[in-house]
Amino acid sequence: MDLYGTLARKAAGDNSFISLIGGGGKTTLLINLASHLRSAGKKVLITTTTKLMSPRFHDYKADRFFCNDDVLSFFPDGPMTVLYALEAEDRNKICCPPLENLRLLKDRYDVVINEADGSKRLPLKIHTQRDPVVPDFTTYTISVMGLWAIGKKACDIAFVDSRDIVVDSSYLQWYIDDPQCLLKGSKPGARAIIFNGAESFDDMDLLRSLKYPSDVFVCAASEESGKVYETING
């Protein structure tokens, strides 16, 4: 099964606003899903409500990049990917533009894909009171987790978790259930969990043994290859 085709069918309706949260592959998902949708004839805006690496140092496969209000005067006239974010004080980063601009632009593009969370490249993210930043006009949320965290100590691979405990089935069930963890900010009835890194993961029974909210689409996949290895829920 194709990961990006599946997500496009589930998440990318007319004027949809998709927010990505969690850790272990959000930026890869953002770029590859945007590329898939552009290839399917969509007008796609990619943005962030936190921070991203500057396009000077990272290829977002975007046709245009706007870092100011000039984006408000631009009307896409065909399939394309547009990146919109502001220059950050740290010149290596770009950061969240005004939410009122994103609300306005949502109706100008077929799909907006927003990276709504930061995890410092770690596969797990325990949220603070400030994050994730999921706008109220989000139509679909996708939570990402890197499977390479399993079997390692939380203090080594989880953002904002200093505990010296192993990421096992009990930890993962807590990570799914706790309101500050994997599904924080997600929209009930319009949300997914992507377990990324399935190409080198050999314990699907562990993922099958976990309990998920009935409304959540869950799959184990490789974002790199775009392949769904197993649909676990939904």
Q: What is the SS3 string spanning the chain?
A: CEHHHHHHHHHCCCCEEEEEEECCCHHHHHHHHHHHHHHCCCEEEEEECCEEECCCCCCCCCCEEECCHHHHHCCCCCCEEEEECEECCCCCEEECCCHHHHHHHCCCCCEEEEECCCCCCCCEECCCCCCCCCCCCCCEEEEEEEHHHCCCEHHHHEECCCCCCECCHHHHHHHHHCCCCCCCCCCCCCEEEEEECHHHCCCHHHHHHCCCCCCEEEEEEECCCCEEEEEEEC
Q: Grade residue 119 by pLDDT with cuts at 50, 70 and 90.
A: confident
Query: What is the bridge-based pairing of β-strands 51-53 and 93-95?
Result: antiparallel
Task: Give pLDDT, residue 144.
Answer: 98
- Give me the mean pLDDT over the 66-90 stretch: 96
Cross-sheet strand order for the sheet of 80-84: 64-66, 80-84, 43-48, 111-115, 16-22, 140-146, 191-196, 216-222, 227-233
- Are 140 and 16 in contact, with CB atoms under 8 Å apart? yes
pLDDT band at 161 (very low <50, low <70, confident <90, very high): very high
Q: How many CB atoms lie within 10 A of CB 115?
A: 25
pLDDT given at position 110: 97
- How would residue 129 be classed by pLDDT, with cut points 50, 70 and 90? confident
The per-residue pLDDT for 71 is 98
**14 pLDDT higher than 90:** no
Whether the predicted pLDDT of 12 surpasses 90: no
Chain segment 195-208, per-residue pLDDT in tens = 999 999 999 999 99
Cα torsion for 144, 149, 153, 154, to the nearest 10°? 0
- Comparing 112 with 160, which gets the higher pLDDT? 112
What is the span of the domain harbouring residue 222?
A: 3-233
Question: Which pTM value belongs to this model?
Answer: 0.96
What is the pLDDT confidence band of residue 177, given thresholds at 50, 70 and 90? very high
Which pLDDT score is estimated for 23? 95
Averaged pLDDT for residues 200-222: 97
The distance from CA 63 to its chain's CA centroid, rounded to whole angstroms, is 21
Average the pLDDT over 2-18 and give the result: 95
Of the pLDDT bands very low, low, confident and very high (cuts 50, 70, 90), residue 174 is very high
Q: Residue 89's pLDDT band (boundaries 50, 70, 90)? A: confident
pLDDT value, residue 120: 85
What is the CATH number for 140?
A: 3.40.50
Count how many domains the chain has: 1
